[in-house]
Chain A
Amino acid sequence: MAADSSLLPSLVEEYVSGLQDSKAKDTATGVKGGQFTIVQLVEALGLSLTSSQPHTRARGVQLLSEVLQECYGVFTVAEVEVLISFYENRLKDHHVVIPPVLQGLRALTKCTVLPPGSAVAMLRALFQDVHVQSLMLAERACVYNMLLNLMETREAELKGLGADFVFGFVQSMDGERDPRNLLLAFQVAKNIIHRGYELGSFTEEMFEVTSCYFPIDFAPPPNDPHGITREELVVTLRDVLVGTPKFAEFLLPLIIEKLDSDVQSAKLDSLQTLTACVTGYEHKDLAEFLGGLWASLRREVFQTASEKIESASLAAVTALTSCLSRSVLKSDSEDSLHSFLELVLKGCKHHLCEPDLKLVWPSAKLLQAACSASNRAGHIITSAVMPLLTEQYHSRTECSHRRTLLEVVQKFMQAVKPRQSSEHEESLFLAFRPSLCSMVFSALVETNASLQITAASVLTLLAQQTGLLLDSDIELAVDHLTRLLLTEDDDRVSLAVVECVGALAELYPATFIAKLIPKLKTEIFSEVMDQDNNTVASEQSSHHALRQRCMAALAMASTQPSVVLESTPVLLEVLSSAHTGSTRFSVAEVVLACHCLQKIAARAQDTEETGRCFHDVIIPRLLCLALQAALRGEGPSDHHSPLLEEAVLCAIVSVISTACSRLQPSLAGQTASRAVSLFLDGDVSFLPDNSFPSHLQLLKPGDSWRQSQLVCLLMACVCTLPRSVEVPQIDRLLSQLEEMSCTCSHQLSYSSAAKCFAGLVNKRPQGDSLDRLIQGTMARVCSELDSTSSPLRSQAFTLMIWVAKALLLRYHPLITTLTDKLFSLLTDDHLGLLAADGFSLLMTDSVDILNRSCHADVRIMYRQRFFSENSPKLVQGFNAARQEKKPNYLKALSNIVEKLPKQVQVTELPALLSLLLEALSCPDQGVQLSTLSCLQPVLVDPPPALIQQLEALFSRLLALTSSPSMNMRIASLRCIKTISHFPVHEVLPFRARVLRALARPLDDRKRLVRQEAVQARAEWFLLGSPGGR
């Protein structure tokens, strides 16, 4: 105790007179640890607190405040009471004492045991004795923090102060200039408004003191030490201003005034504030300002050059309208929604009668914005506008005018659509059904392509309005669509028509089954007469286009199971008659039929019905046809079936893959086991045609490539199943696939076998059996690859690269042995180039197997992982390799980097920059091109390392602008254009040189190059020029 009693005075002495700031901490530790009480501290401070020197007093109070800040939690009510009354008193003291006093008070506001009434007393003293704005920055912050603390814990007490509290606050923040403090002050103001403090007679003062900062104009200092952004200030201030309808009479005139501003950001802020504030307003708050607001909003939409302003204005119109629609009307008040919409209609409607003038679009957008706000508004606007549009449409004869009008109608329907879908009420457009239909159908028979396209999309929208179209309308629509499909050969029109067919068939399947599908079938199977004559070549190509459109329409129409059951037999019949030769179909048409089947499998609803259709009918039929083609092709005199073509087989693979991966897993499992028994045991019992020989051995390396290439169909059946579905006899299957992929000499056969093997390996469960399998395969592959004279090295390489991909995707630990082997092959004389290209295969998503839609085991970010594990090896290998092998490394590198996600490229590239610059001067054009395509996205946001290498970059890029390859010239010019957006001071020194160098490609022999050169040079001219950048 004796030691303690001398310790405290010495601590105080050293702090107050000795000016050792660290002693405050020691004292606080003492109080917290119970060595001495706060009362003892005050006693020990006695002399300094009563000193006649203000600075000594200030120092004394500061020690006490700092102790309080450390340990405001440990005091009793009585102690706090004493301290508060002490501090309140000190507020009247000399101005140098005030800062520590405020600190102390702020610490006290955090006390949980604040006695009742003390908060009010504290604030009364504060507001009375302190002029906040004459304090320093930190002290002002202290006051705002006090207020915030008290508002958190003593809300009821503060509200007891009534409007005095608001008045005190208004006085304290009036004139605040520092953004840090403003953020706090706005927070206090926001609390006052949102927590229902009484504003009393100070509503206008409260508004004035905050709204004088609106709109916020603030740019943080360059190094941004405090991390305050303009957006933060904007959002907090907006919360204050829009918080209460009491501000409406002040805020709305202010917004109208600020909308006149020349500053874009001020306009935007005003519009967003308007949109935000009306959500809480009622019509009476708005009534007297509607005229002014409308005039400003209309002007903004009519005249603005900025899309942001336009969309913000439209959002404000929508918000205003929905506010007016929401308000409850009294019997004596006028309907302000009506009067506002009258203004809107008066200002915009007549512009709709001038479809060739500029203002037709802004007017339509304004009307649509109002229309989309509420049902009532929608009714008022559509009933005024739709008859007008219809009348205009029929009185105009020029197609471009009609198209504009129809597009306006289309936008109206789109504006109303999102709101209506949730409700079960009748369509807004019901009353206009006859006129809308007549408009659309008359547009569909016009010869103008863009008009037809618009009409098709309006027709889709009409059909999607529930209960709008009658059955007779649908039938008429189907007739029109069929006619267009059969006669119209403009690609854009047929695309629009096909899409329309898709949308309508989903809603009205029965009509399409009855009317469209039979017609399409007849057209598909009709043949062009007299095929030997040369004059009908063009006729043949138009016949091909017709079949193409019909099949595309069939595919698009098939989303409902009932349609699928009708449309797929047509497509299957195309395949079988192409196979038998009963109707002539080109290979391209057969491929197209398969693509349509695939599209149906991908889009149709996954029901039992469609599942059965695909797994029990379509897939067996496809397998059967392919097998028939393979077996029949043996005879020399037979008709050559298109089903032997690789393109057709690949298309069939995509049909089967999509069906197996997407439709009905249990049925897919059945398909897989049937396929396995077909390929392993020659079991043909499930195929629709039973005339096959019984000794089929499809996986045994026979001499017929026709049979061996069918392994790709096996791949489609077994590699795309969900992982929960088991593949039967998997070990036997794997060993036969390995055998086939290593020994077969037909390219499609051995690569499909390798892919099938890899696809299965990817889904095998982790464990010893998998490890043994991979090690066995690797041993075989390596021994093949190591004997340089072996004829089967490409086969072994193909198997290895696919297995590597399967393992890479699932992060299997054995991947490293495979990648090491791959790296060593980069220096191989024959396989080096193949190995470099192999990296591209590893990094890209493959289309048929080993992707997520086939349910493969694909871990996230496997590319990044591969890159970070292997890029050092690659750099090392590059440095060690002989000169003539270096391009392989660069190619491998650019293959990897090209496929990395952009974010990773940007962070990783600086390390590889010198290598990439080297790659730009590598003679291989493929390497140059892929390097440029990696560089370009990085140039958009250049890392500092790149900016240091500008000289090297420019000399290479400018040289490439005269490369013999046109794609290189284009890519390099794009890069040069992107560089013009680098920081001006960095690239300005190169301006003259670039402009001179770009003069040459302006006269390039290829137009595409000239176009890039024109753009690049224009950008470089603007650089550093007034009005440019």
Chain B
Amino acid sequence: MSGGTHLENANPIIFQRTGERLLTATDEDENVHDPIDDREIFDILCLTINDPEHPLSLEELNVVEQVRVKVNDGESTVDIEFTPTIPHCSMATLIGLSIKVKLLRCLPSRFKIDVHITPGTHASEEAVNKQLADKERVAAALENSSLLEVVNQCLSIRSH
């Protein structure tokens, strides 16, 4: 982040992180089938996506909350609501796109993925939701190498 640039939201509220998922005995039992659940998707999103402005995870900024992640393993659907830190956040589309791309890469292909903004938390909610729901626009966005570059940066695990 360059010295002179001004951040849109320099001092956001930090939310406490949920601890790591506790390992249970059934997790280590070969014979038990673990279904894909909300927490698992939540972990995928929180552990690996960075906010483009801050070196913080989406969980700490409360952009993604576990209650707003809904998975149905049987019907192969995922439904995610995310909350931009401020109603005019210009990064909302980018965050949404990163979440979508992350899930496309990390979930089995049988899943239908729906990513949208938590109702009433962003000024141009509908426009963003429409963009994110449009398969062809998402595909086109990922053809754009400079956009892909920014998305990939959000998805790179920090080195330290």
Binding site for B on A (CB under 8 A): 259-262, 296, 299-300, 302-307, 351, 354, 356-360, 400, 965-966, 999, 1002-1003, 1005-1008, 1010-1011, 1014-1015, 1017-1018, 1021-1022, 1025-1028
Contact = CB atoms under 8 A, between A and B. Distances in A.
A1026 B145 contact: yes
A358 B60 CA distance: 9
Contacts of A1026: 145-146, 148-149, 152
Contact of B155 (A296, A1005, A1007, A1022): A1022
7 contacts: A305-B54, A307-B160, A1002-B107, A1005-B34, A1010-B40, A1014-B44, A1026-B145
A1027 B145 CA distance: 9
B80 to A, nearest CB: 16
A357 B55 contact: no
B77 to A, nearest CB: 15
B30 interface: yes
Given A1008-B28, A1025-B152, A1018 B106 contact: yes
A1027 B148 contact: yes
B13 A357 contact: yes
B34 A1007 contact: yes
A358 B56 contact: yes
B155 A965 contact: no
B66 interface: no
B86 interface: no
Contacts of A299: 3
Contact of B3 (A296, A356, A1018): A296
B48 interface: yes
Given A302-B10, A357-B14, A966-B30, A262 B36 contact: no
Contact of B1 (A305, A360, A966): A305
B145 to A, nearest CB: 5
A1027 B106 contact: no
Contacts of A260: 2-4
B27 A1007 contact: yes
Given A357-B11, A1002-B107, 7 more contacts: A303-B7, A305-B1, A357-B14, A358-B11, A358-B13, A1007-B40, A1028-B156
B150 interface: yes
B148 A1010 contact: no
Contacts of A400: 16
Interface of B is mostly: loop
Contacts of B36: 1007, 1010
Contacts of B15: 356
Q: Which 5 A-B pairs have the closest CB atoms?
A: A1027-B149, A1027-B152, A1003-B108, A260-B3, A1026-B149
Interface of A is mostly: helix
A384 to B, nearest CB: 21
Interface in B9-48: 10-16, 27-28, 30, 32-34, 36, 40, 43-44, 48
Interface of B: 1-4, 7, 10-16, 27-28, 30, 32-34, 36, 40, 43-44, 48, 54-56, 102, 105-110, 145-146, 148-153, 155-157, 160
A303 to B, nearest CB: 5
Given A358-B13, A966-B30, A1003 B146 contact: no
Nearest to B48: A1018
A358 B108 contact: no
A1005 to B, nearest CB: 4
Nearest to A492: B19
B74 to A, nearest CB: 13
A1027 B108 contact: no
A865 B106 CA distance: 45
Given A302-B10, A1027-B149, A261 B28 contact: no
A305 B146 contact: no
Nearest to A361: B14
Contacts of A357: 11-14
A419 B34 CA distance: 52
A1025 B149 CA distance: 8
Contacts of A965: 30
A1014 B105 CA distance: 8
Contacts of B7: 303
A114 B13 CA distance: 73
Contacts of A1014: 44, 106
A999 B108 contact: yes
B54 A358 contact: yes
A144 B12 CA distance: 55
A400 B13 CA distance: 13
B3 A259 contact: yes
B153 A1027 contact: yes
A1011 to B, nearest CB: 8
Nearest to B6: A303
Nearest to A1006: B34
A408 to B, nearest CB: 13
Contacts of A302: 10
A718 B106 CA distance: 58
A562 B16 CA distance: 43
A1028 B152 contact: yes
A783 B150 CA distance: 72
B95 to A, nearest CB: 15
Nearest to B148: A1026
- Residue from the set B11, B30, B160 with the largest chain A CB neighbour count within 10 Å: B11
Nearest to B15: A356
Contacts of B40: 1007, 1010-1011
Given A1003-B110, A1006-B34, A1025-B152, A358 B3 contact: no
A1006 B152 contact: no
Contacts of A1006: 27, 30, 32-34
A1005 B30 CA distance: 9
- Residue from the set B145, B148, B152 with the largest chain A CB neighbour count within 10 Å: B152
Contacts of B105: 1017-1018, 1021
Nearest to A351: B11
B2 A1022 contact: no
B8 to A, nearest CB: 12
Nearest to A1007: B34
Nearest to B76: A1003
Contacts of B2: 260, 262
Contact of B106 (A259, A1002, A1008, A1025): A1002
Contacts of B155: 1018, 1021-1022
A434 to B, nearest CB: 29
A851 to B, nearest CB: 30
B160 A1022 contact: no
A521 B1 CA distance: 59
B108 A1002 contact: yes
Nearest to A357: B11
Contact of B55 (A259, A261, A305, A1011): A305
Nearest to B36: A1010
B99 to A, nearest CB: 13
Contacts of B13: 356-358
A1017 B109 CA distance: 13
A1017 B106 contact: yes
A618 B44 CA distance: 53
Contacts of A1017: 105-106
Contacts of A360: 14
Contacts of A1025: 148, 152
A306 B50 CA distance: 13
A357 B30 CA distance: 43
Contacts of A354: 11
- Residue from the set A259, A1006, A1008 with the largest chain B CB neighbour count within 10 Å: A1006
Contacts of A300: 3
- Residue from the set A302, A358, A360, A1028 with the largest chain B CB neighbour count within 10 Å: A358
A387 to B, nearest CB: 23
Nearest to A267: B3
A1021 B98 CA distance: 13
Nearest to A303: B1
Contacts of B27: 1006-1008
Contacts of B146: 1026
Contacts of B153: 1027
A1005 B1 contact: no
